[in-house]
Structures are given as C-alpha cells and as structure tokens.
Amino acid sequence: MPKVTEKHKEQRRQAILNAAEQVFLGKGYQLATVDDIACRCGLSVGALYRYFISKSDIMLTLMDERLGRTPDLLERLTSGVGGPWAQITRCVDIFVLALRVRHPTTGRLLLVAWGESLQDRVVRDGLLRRFSGVVDYLSAVIERGIKSGDFQPNADPRVLASLLMCLADGVTLYWAANASGIELQRIRATVMSMVQSYLSVQ
C-alpha cells in the first residue's frame, strides 16, 4: 500500500473543512450531520473520523482557521506601520477591506457560529477565544498609545477594544445577511471619528 504523504493528508483535511462549511451554511449546524459532510467530500464516515472526532471538532477547526486567525493577521499587517494612531486606522481599514474582498462565506460562517453558540459550548468557547484575541491585541495598541502620549490618559483600552470588536462583528453579521444601509466607507469614517473623539488628547 503506497504511503500517504503529509501533503495529501492536508489536502484531504481541507476538503473536509470545505465540505463542512458548505453543509453548515446550507443546512445549518444543528441539521447538518457527519454523514452529510462525508458525502459532500466523497469520503466514508470512517475515513472522515480519521481527521476529526466529531461535528463539533469540525466546526471548531473551521472557526479557528477561518475566523480565529484575526489577531495574528492584525498584528502581522500592522507591525511597522507607524505609531498607535496609524495602527488603529490600519486595523479598521483591514476590516473594511476584508468584508469587501474576502470570500462571502466567511461572514455567513460567523452568522452560523453565533446562532449555534447558545446551544453548543464548544462553539461558544471558540467565539469567545476569537473575541478575546482581538481585544487583547487592540488593547495593547491603545495602551502603547496612552504610554507614548498619543492617546488621552483616561481612555479605557479594554472597553474601547471590546466595543470595536462588537461593532465589527455586528457589521459583519448584517453584511452577511445583505442588510440594506450597510455602507462600509461611511461606517469606516464614523468609527474613526468616534475613536478619535475618544482617544485624542484634549
């Protein structure tokens, strides 16, 4: 029997994740089954279980890999940009750009995950880890701005970072639902105006 390469294993793993994403988006997490996912990617259920131990495991992996990498992405794309103001601005711009050009299923996957989070602790914990990761990163940027004198000293880094994350997810959910009135550039300008009003040294 020929040896299965690591590259082949990863390709099969990604095929399972792609199939699961489509099944979750089409049927919803609760109605989706492992059989549905296996059928979608052309594997037996036994073969699928060599890669993932449960439906929750598949969903958590999707969240970690397609939603949960935001903190690392922000840090990588904003490092060396300049001072704290430039980094905050860059973060907002990345968010707007991601909604414009990223594969549309990303926002819909977040919508499915939020819908399931009240029933499934694993999914909820995954969302909370993602939230905390982004808030930790933004808080650190704001704290550096306070220490450098760029931001006003009475600002609360964690509260502002949490608010920005809530705003970002809220816009993403309504964007994924094709809600009218979501004008990204106007939202971007308003968010930056709010942040500047709060952080500017008087």
106-132 residues labelled b (16+ CB within 10 A) or e (exposed): bbbbbbbbeebbeebeebeebbeebbe
The runs of H, that is alpha helices, within the chain are: 6-27, 34-41, 45-48, 55-66, 70-78, 84-101, 105-116, 121-148, 157-176, 184-199
The amino acid at residue 60 is: L
User: Residue 103: helix, strand or coil by DSSP?
Assistant: coil
pLDDT of residue 98: 80
Task: Determine the topology of domain 6-59 in CATH.
Answer: Arc Repressor Mutant, subunit A (1.10.10)
Domain ranges in the chain are: 6-59, 67-199
CATH number of 67-199: 1.10.357.10
Q: Among 48, 178, 98, which Cα is nearest to 18's?
A: 48
What is the pTM for the complete model shown? 0.82
Per-residue pLDDT of the chain (202 residues; tens, 9 = 90+): 456 688 889 999 999 999 999 999 999 888 999 999 999 999 999 999 999 999 989 988 988 887 777 778 788 888 778 889 999 999 999 888 888 776 567 788 888 888 888 888 888 888 898 899 999 999 999 999 999 999 999 999 999 999 999 999 899 888 888 777 788 899 999 999 999 999 998 7
Q: How far apart are CA 113 and CA 13, in angstroms?
A: 20
